[in-house]
Structure 1
Amino acid sequence: MRIGLLGTGPWARATYAPALAGHPGLRFAGVWGRRPEAATELAERYGVAAYADVDALLADVDAVAVALPPSVQAELAVRAAEAGRHLLLDKPLALSAAGGRAVVEAAERAGVASVVFFTTRFQKEPDAWIEEQAAVAGWFTARAHWLGAVFTGDSPFAASPWRREKGALWDVGPHALSVLLPVLGDVRQVAAAAHGPADTVHLVLDHATGASSSLTLSLTAPPAAAGAEVELRGEAGVSVMPGSSESAVAALSRAADALVRAAGTGRPHPCDAAFGLRVTEILATAQAGLTSARG
C-alpha cells in the first residue's frame, strides 16, 4: 500500500514519519505540508518525495496518514476519500459533529477504509485489558484521569494553536472515551460538565450499560501530577488499566496494520471514522454543557 503523509509538525516528525517508513506493509511515498520547506526537510530525511500540491500526492498513493490539526484534517480527509484513498487519521476526528460526519459520509460513499489513531487502543497491554474488561459483565462505575503537562512542562505541543483554543477536553478527552466506550457502552447522557483549574474539565457520563463514569481531563497539570489512569469497579471487583511498554511509533504501526487489513477485507475496524464521529459528538455535547455552565 502506497501511503502519503499530510503534516510536518512535531507529531508527524516524531511518530507518523518513522512509523510509516518502518512499516513492512506500506511504501512511504511522500509528504505534503502547509509549510513547503518543512515538507521538503521531512521528505529528504526519509528519501521520499515532497509535494507542493496535495492533489498531486493523492494521485500517487493508495492511502493517506493525516497528522494535522483536526479542523484541517477533516477537510483533507473528505478530499482524500473522494479521491478513493484509504484514511489513517488522528484524534479528534474533527472539532464538530458536522465535520466528523462529513468524513464518515465521504468514506462510505467512496468505499474506503478508515482507522483513527486513538493511541491507547493500539498499545498492546492497554488494548488487551480493554478487550478483557469488555467481556466482563456488571461494571458499576469507572473513573478516568488523563492529566497532561503540555502547558506546564516542556512539551513540543505547547505551541499548538488548536490545543490552546480547545484544551484538554478535545485533546485528551478522546483518549479517555476510546477506553471507556468499548467497556461501558455508548454514552446516553453527559450528566455533568464542569470547569476546573485552567483548561481542566470534569465530566460525569451515563452509559448504555447503566454504569456511570467520571473523567478529569487536563493539559495544565503540574508535571509531577501528570499521567493517565482508568479504574473500573463492579461485580467483578476493581480493575485498573495497565501502562504500556511500547512507544507511540509502535502503536501507530499497529494502527497501520489495522488499516491494511480493513482495506483488504472490507471489514471496518472498531476505531474507524464512525467511532471517531461518535467520540466527536460526545465531546461536542460536553463542550455545550461547559459553555452553558459558564453562562
Structure 2
Amino acid sequence: MKFGLLGTGPWAASTHGPALATHKDAQLTGVWGRRPEAARALADELGTRPYDDVDALLSDCDAVAVALPPDVQAPLAVRAAGAGCHLLLDKPVATTPEAARQVSDAVRAAGVASVVFFTLRFSGPTASWIEEQAGIEGWLTGRADWLSPVFGGGDSPYTASPWRRERGALWDVGPHALSVLLPVLGDVDDLEDVRAARGAGDTVHVVLRHERGASSTCTLSHSMPPAASGVSAELRGSAGTARLPERDESPVDAFARAVDALDESARTGRAHPCDVRFAQRVTEILAQVESALG
C-alpha cells in the first residue's frame, strides 16, 4: 500500500513517519505539510519525496496517514477519500459533530477503508486487555484517567501546540479514555445525561452512563505536575476488579499495527472497530461534554 503522509509536526516525525518508512508492507510515497520547508526536511529524514501540492500526493497514493490538528485533518480527509485514498487518521477525527459526520459520509460515499489511531487500541498489552474485558459481562462501573504534564511543567514537544492549548486535554486525551470505556461498557446511553465539571488548569471531570447499565468517570488533564502524571483505567463488577496494564512499547509499533489494520480492512472490506464511525461517535460525546461544561 502506497502511503502519503500529511503533516510534519512532532507526532508525524516521531511516530507516523518512522512507522511508515520501516513497515514491510507499506511504501512511503511522499510527505506534504502546510510549511513546504518542513515537508522537505521531514521527507529528507525519511528518505522520501516532499510534495508542494497535496492533490498531487493524493493521486500518487493508495492511502494517507494524517498527523495534523483535527480541524485541519477533517476537510483533508474528505478530500483524500474523494480521491480514492484509504484513511489512517488521528484522534480526534474532528472537534465538531458536523465535521466528523462529513468525514464518515465521504468514506461511505467513496467506499474506502478507514482506521483512526487511538493509541491504546493498537498497543499490544492495552489492546488485548480491552478486548478481554469486552467479553466479560457484569461490569458496573469504570473509570479512565489520563493526566499529563504537557502544560504542567513537563518536557513535552506538544506544549507549544496551538490546537492543544485552545482545546485542552478534553479533546486531546479524552478520545483515549473513551476508546477504553466504550468497547467494554457500551455506547453512552443518552448524551443529554452527560455531566462534566472543570478542575485546575484544563482539567475536566466527566460522568457517563452507558447503554448496558454501567456508569463511568473520566478525569482528563494536561495540567498535572510531572510527579502527579499518569494513565490509568479500572473496571469493577461481578468479575471483580480489572486494571489497565501499562503500555510497554513504542507508539511506532502501535502505529505499525494500525497500518496493518487499514491494509486488512481495505483488502477484506470489513470495517475496523476504530473506523471513522467510531471516531464520529467519540466526537459527538466530547462535544456534549464541552456543552455540559458551559
Q: TM-score, normalised by structure 2?
A: 0.98
CA-CA distance at 1:145 after TM superposition = 1.2
Deviation digits for residues 224-259 of structure 1 (CA, Å, limit 9, x no counterpart): 011110000000000001012111000000000000
Is 1:284 paired with 2:287?
yes
- Aligned residue in 1 for 2:173: 172
- Opposite residue 172 of structure 1, the aligned amino acid is V
Q: How far apart, CA to CA, are the structure 1 residues paired with 2:259 and 2:155?
A: 29
Distance in 2, matches of 1:238 and 1:154, equals 34
Is contact 2:194-2:289 (8 Å) kept?
A: no
- Alignment-derived partner of residue 249 in structure 1: 252
Structure 1 residue runs without a partner (length 5+): none
Structure 1 runs (4+) deviating above 3 angstroms are none
Query: Which range is displaced more, 62-71 or 44-53?
Result: 44-53
State the one-letter code of the partner of 1:60. D
The offset of 1:192, in angstroms, is: 1.3
What is the SS of the residue equivalent to 1:188? coil
SS of 2:143's equivalent in the other structure is: strand
Say whether residues 1:91 and 2:94 are aligned partners: no
Q: 218, 229, 233: which one pairs with 2:232?
A: 229
Q: Would you say the 8 A contact 2:188–2:209 is kept in 1?
A: yes
The alignment-based identity, stated in percent, is 63
Cα distance in 1 between the residues matched to 2:114 and 2:286: 20
| Structure 1 counterpart SS, 2:219 | strand
CA distance, structure 2, for counterparts of residue 201 and residue 21 of structure 1? 37
Check whether the contact 2:18–2:252 (CA below 8 A) recurs between aligned residues: yes
CA distance in 2, matches of 1:217, 1:10: 22
RMSD: 0.6
Three-state SS of the structure 2 residue aligned to 1:215 is: strand
Provide the C-alpha distance between the structure 2 equivalents of 1:216 and 1:59, rounded to a whole number of angstroms: 42
TM-score (norm 1): 0.98
Tell me the distance in 1 between the aligned counterparts of 2:231 and 2:263. Answer: 29
Secondary structure of 1:289's counterpart equals helix
Query: Counterparts of 2:47 and 2:236 in 1: how far apart (Å)?
Result: 50
Which letter does structure 1 place at the counterpart of 2:77? A
Secondary structure of the corresponding residue to residue 143 of structure 1: strand
Q: Please report how far the alpha carbon of residue 60 of structure 1 lies from its aligned counterpart in structure 2 after TM superposition.
A: 0.5
Cα distance in 2 between the residues matched to 1:46 and 1:192: 45
Q: Where does residue 11 of structure 2 map in the other structure?
A: 11
For 1:215, the equivalent position in structure 2 comes to 218
Following TM superposition, by how much is the alpha carbon of 1:191 offset from its aligned partner in structure 2, in angstroms?
3.2
Answer with 177-186 or 141-150: which moved more: 141-150
Rounded to whole Å, the distance in 2 between the matches of 1:47 and 1:154 is: 28
State the partner residue of 1:78: 78
CA distance in 1, matches of 2:290, 2:78: 24
* CA displacement, residues 9-68 of structure 1 (integer Å, 9 cap, x when unaligned): 000000010000011111010000000000000101122110001001001110000000
Aligned residues: 291
Q: Distance in 2 between matches of 1:104 and 1:26?
A: 24
Q: What does 1:1-295 correspond to in 2, within 5 Å?
A: 1-152=1-152, 153-189=154-190, 190-291=193-294
Question: Using the alignment, how far apart are the partners of 2:144 and 2:48 within structure 1?
Answer: 41
User: Letter of the aligned partner of 1:128 in structure 2?
Assistant: S
Q: Residue 74 of structure 2 contacts residue 103 of structure 2 at CA under 8 Å; is this kept in 1?
A: yes
SS in 2 for 1:15: helix
| Alpha-carbon separation, structure 2, partners of 1:62 and 1:187 | 35
